[in-house]
Amino acid sequence: MRKGVLCWLVPAIFVGAFLLFPIYLLVLRFPDIDLFQAASRHGNVIKFTFFQATVSAIFTALLGIPGAFLMNRTKLPKLFKSLLNAASMVPFVLPGITMAVGFLLTFGNSGVINAVLSHFGIQLSILYTFPAIIMGHVFYNFPLFMRIVGDSWSKIDGDILEAASIDGCDGWKKFVKVELPLIFPSILTSFLLSFVYCFTSFSVVLILGGIRYSTLEVSIYMYLRVLLDFDSALSLTILQILFISSVSLLTGIFSLRTTSSVGKTVKERFPLWGYLYSFVAVVVVFLPLSMSIVGGFVSYGGGFTLNNFRNLFSSALRYVLGVTPLFTIIFTMALALFTAVLTLTIAFFSSYSSVRGKQRFSSVVCFVPTAVSAATIAFGLVMLSRVAPLPIPFLLIVVYTLISLPIVHGMMENAWRNTPVEIEEAASLDGAGLFSMLFRIRFPMMRKEILGSLAFASAISIGEMTATIILSEPPFTTMSVLTYRLLSTRHLPEAQAMNSILAWIVLGLFFIVE
């Protein structure tokens, strides 16, 4: 018990020092902010943020719920099951910038879809429009519904469904009266999560929406880094914190109301509409993902080329970007390594405190970062660096660790639960010391979760863009920010090449997790 109490101090000190204290500094620095006046002054931005997040979450649900049904309630062909299962991992491992560039290469004016439609005399122009933002969000978030709702759907007692069928309740009537009430909490949880992700969206809005559209997250960045209006940036930050905290609380409440698994699982025949759905999933998810992977080899005319990579690593770009792409790749990977090790270390202690020490407060502390956005964390660290100057690489590692901590903590909690206490007690009786206990007992038994945690933390570090673009300055920039700067300076072929490298690295980590 004493070890558990001491272990929760590790995440508490880290989160307190680098998240809560910086937010306190923000409020202390600007004590006279009138939130009601700020909400009125930035009313258009707030309204648009709510509107696009709501519309995005609705369309995400419309596409995600059928996928959850196909994956967990039908006899899905092996190929389709593999494709949909892979798609369900997209939001957890794919950087927003990679998705946006893939979407650009697929649905842009010179993209794959328009190349096909041009043979029929059709031109699809959705880039830099509101539908482009919605489509980007749907692509990025609908797998959440597939995974969360699908898990709840798979736990419905098959005997209940069979009893409903015997009573004459089949098809749509059975879904509405029996299944929907059971999976409704998971649908609400997925909807709220999707809403929050769309509400705090940055790269999707910035790249696919263009300058015409601005959300709270984008506005905070603009006021903080471009206009240097700290009062407006803080006003929007506090408003965003209040709202996200409220939604996160609701999400936590609904996530506790999960469906219990009792009895057998009933599988239905794969419906005909499932083939159409799988086709749409391939177009919406795998085509943009494929374009992200191979986009670096595609020339402007659509042919194969290596010139994109040659131009990317040429000396000419250094004068445009202020840094060489090779240094950026090495720097990004170094940040990912330090972030992964630091996050795993903190999560190792916090999860031990939570599971073995029965200190649930440890889990609460680790999930505090989910109540704030990446821009808010970065803004707080900007204020902290004014009080105690800190190097940019250190600030970036702190940000990535805070963002990764909730996921890694959850993974390590499962690791501790799956490690039998009896084995550790037997090892202690045999005289095993701390070193032997860690490296011969615990680490080998937690190998899968440890590798998964390292991979997830690294992937989040490599792909994070919102906080990075606020905190970083050349030469300390990352691959995701460099990709955006290449896009914004009209170096599209070089951006495609850098984005492909980013996608290869992240997908490599994805396969480690799987």
User: Sorting pLDDT into bands at 50, 70 and 90, what band is 18?
Assistant: very high
**Confidence bin at 284 (pLDDT 50/70/90):** confident
Residue at 247 is within a domain:
no
- The verdict on 94 and 72 lying in the same domain is yes
The confidence score (pLDDT) of residue 273 equals: 84
Per-residue pLDDT reduced to its tens digit, 323-364: 889 999 999 999 999 999 999 999 988 888 887 777 777 778
- Does some domain include residue 188? yes
- Asked if residue 83 belongs to a domain, the reply is yes
Helices (H), 359-419: 361-366, 374-387, 392-417
Q: How confident is the model at residue 55 (pLDDT cuts 50, 70, 90)?
A: very high
Task: Give SS3 for 304.
Answer: strand
Q: How far apart are CA 72 and CA 70, in angstroms?
A: 6
Same domain (yes/no): 110, 7 = no
Alpha carbon separation from 8 to 17, 169, 247, 366, 470 (Å, rounded): 14, 51, 26, 9, 30
Does the pLDDT at position 425 exceed 80? no
Domain membership flag for residue 227: no
Please, how many CA atoms are within 13 Å of residue 411, restricted to the half-sphere of its CB?
Answer: 23
- DSSP for 268-332, written as a single string: BPPPTHHHHHHHHHIIIIIHHHHHHHHGGGB-TTS-B-SHHHHHHTSTHHHHHHSS-HHHHHHHH
Claim to verify: residue 367 and residue 419 sit in the same structural domain: yes
Residue 281 shares a structural domain with residue 308: no
One domain, residues 168 and 201: yes
Same structural domain, 502 and 385: yes
**Structural domain contains residue 212:** no
What is the percentage of the chain residues whose pLDDT exceeds 90? 15
Greater pLDDT, 423 or 196: 196
Specify the pLDDT at position 120.
83
Domain stops at, among 243, 267, 292: 292
- Mean pLDDT for 98-113 is 82
Domain match, 404 and 315 both: yes
CATH at residue 118: 1.10.3720.10
Residue range 23-51: mean pLDDT, rounded: 80
Q: According to the model, what pLDDT value does residue 429 have? A: 64
The residues facing 298 across adjacent strands are: 304
Same domain, 282 and 349: no
Same domain as 499, residue 431: yes
**Per-residue model confidence (pLDDT) at position 327:** 92
Domain boundary among 292, 319, 354: 292
Q: Report whether pLDDT(89) > 70.
A: no
41 and 16 in one domain? no
pLDDT at residue 298 is higher than 70: yes
* Residue with the larger pLDDT of the pair 283 and 297: 297
Give phi and psi for 476, each to the nearest 5: -85, 80
Distance in angstroms (rounded) separating the CA atoms of residues 374 and 218: 11
| Domain with 357 in it | 1-31+299-514
Evaluate if residue 32 carries a pLDDT over 70: no
Average pLDDT estimate for 405-413: 85
CA within 13 Å, CB half, 76: 21
Domain assignment present for residue 365? The answer is yes
Half-sphere exposure of 228 (CA within 13 A, CB side): 0
Query: How high is the pLDDT of residue 28?
Result: 80
Residue that finishes a domain, picked among 292, 308, 342: 292
Residue with tokens 């880094």: 225
258 and 371, same domain (yes or no): no
Q: Mark whether 389 and 285 lie in a shared domain.
A: no
pTM summary value: 0.83
Q: What is residue 439's three-state secondary structure?
A: helix
Beta bridge partners of 473: 476
Tokens 């989160």 -> residue:
15
| Number of structural domains the chain divides into | 2
- The answer to whether residue 237 is domain-embedded is no
Average pLDDT over every residue of 380-405: 91
Q: Are 487 and 127 in contact (CB under 8 A)?
A: no
231 within a domain of the structure (yes/no):
no
Q: What mean pLDDT is reported for the chain?
A: 81
Which single residue is written with the structure tokens 């190349």?
115
d(CA 126, CA 302) in angstroms, rounded, equals 20
Across residues 200-207, what is the average pLDDT?
84
